[in-house]
Amino acid sequence: RCCDCGKGFDGNFDLTQHQLVHTGEKLDLCAPCGKGWSQDSLLTQHQRTHFSKK
């Protein structure tokens, strides 16, 4: 359970990932532009803007 908002999680990894929302910590950085993301799935989604064919 998150100490900041009380949200419950099945595993410790999910709780740890969620707590980044409260701390603002950005663990995953985009190499082309330097933007930071708290979750690798958000980084992957963002990187499509750099590498998608137009």
Whole-number average pLDDT of the chain: 88
Say what the pLDDT of residue 33 is: 93
pTM above 0.75, yes or no: no
Is 38 in contact with 26 (CB distance < 8 Å)?
Answer: yes
Question: Is residue 37's pLDDT more than 70?
Answer: yes
Q: Which residues contact 7 (CB under 8 A, 6 or more apart)?
A: 1, 18
9-33 average pLDDT score: 88
**pLDDT at res. 52:** 76
Contacts with 26 (C-beta within 8 Å, 6 or more apart), sequence order: 20, 36, 37, 38
Return the residue matching tokens 């803007």. 49
Is the pLDDT at 53 greater than 90? The verdict is no
Q: Report whether pLDDT(31) > 70.
A: yes
Domains of the chain from N-terminus onward = 12-51 (3.30.160.60)
